[in-house]
Amino acid sequence: MITSVKGTRDLLPPETRVFTRVEAIAKDVFALYGYDEIRTPHLEQTELFVRSVGESSDIVHKEMYSFTTRGGQNVTLRPENTAGVARAYIEHGMAQSGFARKLYYVGAQFRYERPQEGRYREFRQIGAEALGPADPATDADLLVMLFDFLSRLGFAGLAVALNSVGTEACRPAYVEALRAYLAPHAGKLGEDDRRRLTQNPLRVLDTKDPALAELIAGAPRMLDLLDEESRAHHEELLGYLEAAGIPYRIEPRLVRGLDYYTRTVFEVTAGGLGAQDAILGGGRYDRLVSDLGGPKVAGIGFAIGEDRLVKAVPDEFRRAAIESVNAVALVALEKADRADALALAAELRRAGIAVDLDATGRGPGHGLKAAEKRGARVAVLLGGRERETGSVVVKELATRRQTIVPRTELAAALSEGRKGS
Ligand code: HAM
């Protein structure tokens, strides 16, 4: 038997209904904030991620699906989508329009991580990027949109963890302070963290080693070393978030695992997800576009891990999403009923009623059992007697209540039943 590749998974019904519903709401909400959809390729030049996500990140260091094509080009399955959006923005001259380009995406990303609950090698992200303005009101607007979306899924009590990682004007001094603080403890660091200490000490703050918690808690704070402009940006943002009622907490050691961030960084975690509790992360990246050879254009964005989000959505949302798709099971009792059942199905579908046709003709017992298995609420039975009388049997599967309905009234009766449920 050929199975799926390790770290990938099939999303099956009815779970796919929850994904579809989440995506539909994301698209509706993002459109309310002036965002348009972008779809970039899954495959990009490896160089793109090396120059954006950065060599000191775990992603580039050890998690990329990279290979050389038959034509000799080095390509990578995208591990994230911000770099691809920035590349497309430059390639298509989108900056020339002179105003903010607000773009969102929904799609698969690939990271060669150790698979575990909530962590996959192929996973999906729903993300948004605002390219252009560098002001803190743009940060606030993006976070307001994010919380608008999350609250429409029924989440309550989520707070954004927020920090500023400054800019090239103040970060080098911070990195040096951090290196000086960590260096005497290098012996306590594992292999990965020792590499991080030399390559980019900021990464050590992201350590997965619980034994280092105390050391990290005592580390210098970027917020204390921000230059005047970054501090003003941070404080102005906090003011807007308070005015908008967005719950946040300052997380002075939040640095995020990608190298392109400047100033604002944030994450949202949700309970009940175990170790992999970050449902989303994001931040500002005011140098990314110019570092990739584009114009001097700022940017900010986030990406939600859709697999984790779907796992964490409140039960009520999940139930409603699953029940929102509910076809009537139309059962042709015998083979002789097939043609008539096809005609009736067409009639009902024209009236906007979803029909799951069972034309196997294996009798009422089998038909009802199959309808139940497929999750139908109502079954319509059509047999020889019904054809003669121009009626059908309508059976509510939960209560087993049965009524005889003339075919001419069936569409109206089924629509009425749907409204009542
Ligand atoms: P990230 O923090 O690497 O940021 O990923 C964002 C989210 O994707 C995570 O919070 C998590 O929910 C989900 N995620 C990451 N890896 C996995 C995995 N292996 N399995 C399941 N879910 C996963 C970024 O990707 C940035 N591009 C975010 C961004 C957009 N920053 C600015 N704009």
Asked if 203 and 190 touch (Cβ cutoff 8 Å), the reply is: no
The reported pLDDT for the residue numbered 12 is: 96
CA 176 – ligand 1 centroid, Å: 28
Of 297, 47, 266, 288, the closest CA to residue 168 belongs to 288
Q: What average pLDDT does the structure give for the chain?
A: 94
pLDDT confidence of 162, banded at 50, 70, 90? very high
Exposure of 408 by Cβ count < 10 A (0-12 exposed, 13-18 middle, 19+ buried)? exposed
Say if residue 359's pLDDT is above 90: yes
CA-to-CA distance for 122 and 8, rounded, in angstroms?
5
Say if residue 276's pLDDT is above 80: no
pLDDT confidence of 419, banded at 50, 70, 90? low
Nearest atom, ligand 1, residue 309 CA? 12
pLDDT confidence of 236, banded at 50, 70, 90? very high
339 alpha-carbon distance from chain centroid: 44
pLDDT cut 90: percent of the chain above it: 90
The reported pLDDT for the residue numbered 56 is: 87
Residues with CB under 6 A from ligand 1: 80-82, 111, 113, 119-120, 123, 125, 127, 129, 257-258, 278-283, 301-303, 305, 307-308
Nearby residues of 415 by Cβ (< 8 Å), 6 or more positions away: 351, 352, 353
